[in-house]
């Protein structure tokens, strides 16, 4: 039997892609075609993990309902994507910044400048988990494209020891002991990258898709939408002010001026304004109605209106 060459790596994300061996001499248009062909494989790989992703949503929802948090932890591209997803939750869903948290190896400097050595620092990982105050109420999701990042492994081990539910998202099989210790294991097999080992490509795209689904799915389960309308958004810019007014208009059938006034009376809370308009009540009564319904608008005012075609 022929001996396997020493340079062959067991990690799927480190293998050479036979479909892109001539990418270095390709024209710009062919480069686009080659990379697009690889990217098209990502969605199917993500969907193959639908059950595991749904399980992660349930774990995150449970954590938040019991006063805990969804905590992402990663290094490099995976870590940056976790921090990005966490940062986008407050303006989109009106959540406090501490509800969804991103921890990245190397800390804040790693967000804008590569800190490659940080991914090997297991001691820093355990310290970062402790500094974040991780407890048994939290769900900690580690993201590691290769499945072998020491920082992520150590962080999850410490989180597990503190009683937190833990999950792992990888694009290559992880160490058996680590995978077995996780409450949910998401292995999205995106395969070799167009550029060997560059996991900011397909692996990064898959990670972004999955984190989008987990955080959005969790917020949907928590009643942060009315139909597919964002009703807990925070109007922090002119664009979001406009979106909030349009949401109230679409949900209630009122005009823009009435929507604007309702939002003002609701203290800027779009969800509250919708209930006030549809139930013809003041902010105090609308608040009570929503509280009784667990914050779910549909339970208070019924089904949302149908989509109006342009």
Interval 197-233: pLDDT, tens: 999 999 999 999 999 999 999 999 999 999 999 999 8
Q: For residue 4, what pLDDT band results from cuts at 50, 70 and 90?
A: low
pLDDT at 200: 94
Please check the confidence at residue 160 and state whether its pLDDT lies above 80. Answer: yes
pLDDT band at 44, cuts 50/70/90?
Answer: very high
Q: Which residues pair with 140 in a beta bridge?
A: 71, 166
For the chain, helix, strand, coil in percent to 5 are 55, 10, 35
What are the boundaries of each domain within the chain? 46-221, 225-301
d(CA 273, CA 264): 8
**Exposure letters 194-222 (e unless 16+ CB within 10 A, then b):** bbebebbbbbbbbbbbbbebbbbbbbebb
Q: Can you list the pairs that 43-47 forms with residues at least 24 positions away whose Cβ atoms lie under 8 Å?
A: 43/209, 45/188, 45/189, 45/190, 45/191, 45/206, 46/188, 46/206, 46/209, 46/210, 46/213
17 Cβ contact list (under 8 Å, min separation 6): 38, 191, 192, 193, 194, 196
Highest mean pLDDT pick, 1-15, 72-86, 104-118, 144-158? 72-86
Percent of the chain past pLDDT 70, that is, above it, reads 97
Reported confidence tier of residue 173, pLDDT bands at 50, 70, 90: confident
From the candidates 119, 157, 245, 250, give the one annotated as an active-site residue: 119
Residue 250 a catalytic site member: no
Residues 6+ apart with CB under 8 A from 250: 229, 305, 308
Burial grade of 150 (CB within 10 A; 0-12, 13-18, 19 or more): middle
Residue 146: predicted pLDDT: 87
Asked if pLDDT for residue 6 goes beyond 70, the answer is: no
- Quote the CA–CA distance of 255 and 233 in Å, as a whole number: 20
Q: What CATH class does 46-221 carry?
A: alpha beta
- 117 has pLDDT over 90: no
Q: Give the CA-trace dihedral at 207, 208, 210, 211, to 10 degrees.
A: 110
Average pLDDT, the chain: 93
pLDDT at 120 (0 to 100): 86
pLDDT of amino acid 2: 57
Per-residue pLDDT tens over the stretch 248-295: 999 999 999 999 999 999 999 999 999 999 999 999 999 999 999 999
pLDDT given at position 69? 98
For domain 225-301, the CATH architecture is Orthogonal Bundle (1.10)
Q: Is the pLDDT of residue 106 over 70?
A: yes
pTM over 0.85: yes
**Position 28 pLDDT exceeds 80:** yes
Write down the catalytic residue from 10, 14, 38, 88.
88
Q: What is the pLDDT of residue 215?
A: 98
Task: Specify whether 245 is catalytic.
Answer: no
CB distance 63 to 222 below 8 Å: no
């Amino acid at each position: 039997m022929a001996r396997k060459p020493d340079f062959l790596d067991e990690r799927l994300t480190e293998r050479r892609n036979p479909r892109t061996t001539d990418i270095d001499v390709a024209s710009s248009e062919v480069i686009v075609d080659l990379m697009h062909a690889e990217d098209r494989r990502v969605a199917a790989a993500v969907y193959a993990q639908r059950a595991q992703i749904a399980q992660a949503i349930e774990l995150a929802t449970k954590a938040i309902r019991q006063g805990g948090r969804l905590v992402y932890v990663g290094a490099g591209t995976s870590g940056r994507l976790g921090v990005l997803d966490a940062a986008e939750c407050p303006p989109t869903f009106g959540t406090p910044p501490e509800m969804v948290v991103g921890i990245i190896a190397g800390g804040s400097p790693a967000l804008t400048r590569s800190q490659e050595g940080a991914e090997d620092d297991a001691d820093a990982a355990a310290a970062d988990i402790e500094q974040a105050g991780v407890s048994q109420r939290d769900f900690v999701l580690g993201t590691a494209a290769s499945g072998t990042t020491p920082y992520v492994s150590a962080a999850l081990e410490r989180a597990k020891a503190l009683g937190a539910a833990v999950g792992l998202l990888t694009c290559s099989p992880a160490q058996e002991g680590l995978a077995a210790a996780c409450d949910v294991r998401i292995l999205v097999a995106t395969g070799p990258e167009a550029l060997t080992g560059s996991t900011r490509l397909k692996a990064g795209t898959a990670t972004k898709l999955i984190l989008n689904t987990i955080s959005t799915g969790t917020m949907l389960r928590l009643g942060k939408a009315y139909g597919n309308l964002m009703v807990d958004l925070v109007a922090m810019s002119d664009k979001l002010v406009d979106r909030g007014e349009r949401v109230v208009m679409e949900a209630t059938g009122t005009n823009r001026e009435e929507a604007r006034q309702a939002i003002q009376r609701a203290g800027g809370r779009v969800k509250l304004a919708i209930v006030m308009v549809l139930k013809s009540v003041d902010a105090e009564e609308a608040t009570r109605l929503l509280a009784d319904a667990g914050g779910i608008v549909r339970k208070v005012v019924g089904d949302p209106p149908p989509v109006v075609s342009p």
